[in-house]
Copies of this chain bind each other. A is one copy, B any other.
């Protein structure tokens, strides 16, 4: 605490970094590009995990765990996937250290402990998993396999940012195997829909569902479904992806099954994932210049109670009211903290909980004792009101829903205001540079055009929308025919 955050207007990127560190969410570590997720940030991730895990299990998925390492020969088996990740692989080459003969207090890599085959630290697990599935699948009776894994993965990024792009990150990766193309596509779509539901309803972040262009598709996928969100600075953020992998991995790892009709066929696959990157999306969707703003669903502390007092006697009286409130709120499932520390002043506490995004703050002072009331402040609107003590529980219960909805609606309004249809490339560039957000434009469907536009504007196709009207038109860049508008944006 102490000094204020840089404002979003001054420097959005600096604001973000300062917020992440000062709200105790995460920090950089001694390892290039790897972050330390601090307890407060991790508690948010745990809430996300719990809800996703519930949704996955409800739809018939089970958790399992596959090795961290992928032998190089397996890694390279699916060529497009390997090509896509080769440039960002951490590689284990040795399995032992030894004392440095020239400096006995130091260690060196033991050159005699070189691995025969290098191990890649998983950037994603399709290879190791499909090599395993090969042993599990003989007949249609063994299908579908519906597995999810909670894990860490490593992608050696050159430019990293806390939560948004880190060399190591935490995620879940679903890997499913199916007897038919139809079933696999349905699974990929289902998981993209589950991600959309989760991000919208639980995190309060509106998203648009779509598919990726070939350029932006996952390496090794036939189709990538995605959900995209819009951040406050007008840049898009890919919040989740779900891939229909066709038979690519089954062919690379020779995974076949005997069908009901007795034919040997290659298995159909999907994979899907979301990561700690979502914490970045959460921050950049709801927060303000005072700090983090958390939807109640994700708040490790939903309500904080701060006593304002002089002397032990007053504190004792206030604490009686406060502890009663704590119990009543906990009984209705609200997580609440009573901060009666005497090492910090109320003003410091107010600022700290504001910075950390606690949805509701209740202050109780001597006047409140007299009047039987408390002062209640909402983090989302920064508004305050006096509430009779007898009405607090109902009030807070209502606010948990109201704040959740308000944050979603506020973000939705901003997002909808920042989808702009353009009909010329001039307009495209102007909107991108002045207003930002999603640009809805016709595109001729070629990678060539997409790359040209990217080169000239840094905007990429975020998605080809699944829902909504599909009017034909002419490509904003080439003038060639286009079956529907797609959404462009600069992106995280």
Residues of A within 8 A of B (CB): 27, 29-31, 34-39, 42-43, 45-46, 62-72, 74-76, 79, 82, 86-99, 105-107, 109, 118-121, 128, 131-132, 135, 141, 147, 151-152, 154, 156, 168, 170, 343
Task: Write the chain B residue with the least CB distance to A92.
Answer: B90
Provide the residues of chain B in CB contact with A107, threshold 8 Å: 72, 75-76, 82, 86
Taking the nearest CB of chain B, how far is it from the CB of A179, in angstroms? 14
Provide the residues of chain B in CB contact with A170, threshold 8 Å: 65
State in angstroms the CA–CA spacing of A152 and B154 once bound together.
Answer: 13
Taking the nearest CB of chain B, how far is it from the CB of A34, in angstroms? 4
Known interface pairs A29-B128, A30-B131, A64-B38. Does A91 touch B86 (Cβ–Cβ under 8 Å)? no
Known interface pairs A29-B128, A67-B34, A97-B120. Does A62 touch B43 (Cβ–Cβ under 8 Å)? yes
Contact present for B36 and A67 (CB under 8 Å): yes
State in angstroms the CA–CA spacing of A6 and B95 once bound together.
Answer: 34
Could you name 6 residue pairs across A and B whose Cβ atoms are closer than 8 Å? A36-B64, A36-B66, A39-B63, A72-B107, A90-B92, A93-B94
Provide the residues of chain B in CB contact with A93, threshold 8 Å: 91-94, 109
Contact present for A65 and B86 (CB under 8 Å): no
Contact present for A105 and B119 (CB under 8 Å): no
State in angstroms the CA–CA spacing of A328 and B71 once bound together.
Answer: 49
Contact present for A69 and B141 (CB under 8 Å): no
Contact present for A89 and B79 (CB under 8 Å): no
Contact present for B31 and A70 (CB under 8 Å): yes
State in angstroms the CA–CA spacing of A36 and B92 once bound together.
Answer: 19
Contact present for A68 and B109 (CB under 8 Å): no
Contact present for A37 and B65 (CB under 8 Å): yes
State in angstroms the CA–CA spacing of A87 and B39 once bound together.
Answer: 32
Contact present for A92 and B121 (CB under 8 Å): yes
Task: Write the chain B residue with the least CB distance to A82.
Answer: B107
Taking the nearest CB of chain B, how far is it from the CB of A151, in angstroms? 8
State in angstroms the CA–CA spacing of A38 and B149 once bound together.
Answer: 10
Known interface pairs A88-B95, A91-B94, A131-B30. Does A39 touch B168 (Cβ–Cβ under 8 Å)? no
